[in-house]
Amino acid sequence: MKIYQLSGRHSSLVLAAGGGQWPQFVHWGCRTDLSGEDRDSLAGLLALPVPQAFLDEVYPPGLCPLWGNGGFSANALRGGDERQWAPQFVVAEGVESSGRLRFDGQDEVAGLELTFSLEMTEWDVLVVRAVLTNIGSRPYRLEELALSLVVPATADEIIRFHGRWIREFAQQRAAVTRQGAWAENWKGRTSHDNPPLLLVGRRGFSFEQGEVYGFHLGWSGNHGYRLQVVEDGRRLVQFAEKLFPGEVVLAPGESYTTPFLYASYTGCGLNGLSANFHSFIRDSGRFARPPGNFRPIHINTWEAMYFQHDQTMLERLVERAARLGIERFVLDDGWFSGRDHERAGLGDWFVDGKKYPRGLGPLIEKVRAAGMQFGLWFEPEMVNPDSRLFRDHPDWILAVDGYRQILGRWQYALNLGHPPVYAYVKDRLYDLLSRYPIDYIKWDMNRDLVQPGDKTGRPAVHRQVECLYRLLAEIRSDFPSVEIESCASGGGRIDLGILRYASRVWTSDCNDPLERQAIQSGFSLFFPLEMMGSHFGPQQSHTTGRQFDLEFRIFTAFFANLGFEQNLLELSEEECERLSGYIAMYKRFRPLIHRGRLWRGDTADPGQQIWAVTSEDRCQALVAVVQTGLPDNMLPGRLQLRFCRPGIRYQVEWLNRHPPQPNLMKQDVAISRRQLTVSGRVLATIGLQLPVVHPQTIMLFNIERH
Taking Cα atoms as reference points, which of 90, 114, 89, 110 lies closest to residue 102?
Answer: 114
- Where b means 16+ CB within 10 Å and e means fewer, 51-87 reads eeeeeeeebbbbbbbbbbbebeebbbbbbbeeebbbb
Residues sharing a CB contact under 8 Å with residue 256, sequence separation 6 or more, in sequence order: 131, 132, 142, 145, 248, 250
Taking Cα atoms as reference points, which of 460, 548, 481, 472 lies closest to residue 510?
Answer: 548
DSSP per-residue codes, 44-65: TT------TTS-SS---SBSS-
Active site residues: 444, 509
DSSP per-residue codes, 159-184: EEEEEETTEEEEEEEEE--TT-EEEE
10 Å CB burial of residue 581 (0-12, 13-18, 19+) is: middle
Q: Is-contact 128 149, C-beta < 8 A? A: yes
Q: Is-contact 519 510, C-beta < 8 A? A: yes
Rounded to the nearest 10 degrees, what angle do helices 361-369 and 311-324 cross at? Answer: 20
Q: Give the span between the Cα atoms of 148 and 550, in whole angstroms.
A: 47
Q: Give the span between the Cα atoms of 412 and 299, in whole angstroms.
A: 29
Q: Give the span between the Cα atoms of 214 and 197, in whole angstroms.
A: 8
**What is the H or E stretch that residue 226 is in?**
strand 223-229
Residues sharing a CB contact under 8 Å with residue 548, sequence separation 6 or more, in sequence order: 512, 513, 514, 539, 541, 696
CA 679, distance to chain mean position in Å, is: 37
DSSP per-residue codes, 66-114: -GGGT-GGG--EEE--TTTSS--PEEPPPEEETTEEEEEEEETTTTEEE
Q: Give the span between the Cα atoms of 407 and 384, in whole angstroms.
A: 9
Q: Give the span between the Cα atoms of 671 and 641, in whole angstroms.
A: 13
- Where b means 16+ CB within 10 Å and e means fewer, 316-330 reads ebbebbbebbbbbbb
10 Å CB burial of residue 108 (0-12, 13-18, 19+) is: exposed
Q: Provide the residue type at 368 as one letter.
A: R
Q: How far is CA 324 from CA 302, 577, 580, in A?
A: 19, 8, 5
Q: Give the span between the Cα atoms of 313 and 336, in whole angstroms.
A: 18
Helix, strand, or coil (residue 596): coil
Residue 624, phi then psi, degrees to nearest 5? -125, 125
Rounded to the nearest 10 degrees, what angle do helices 461-478 and 419-435 cross at? Answer: 30
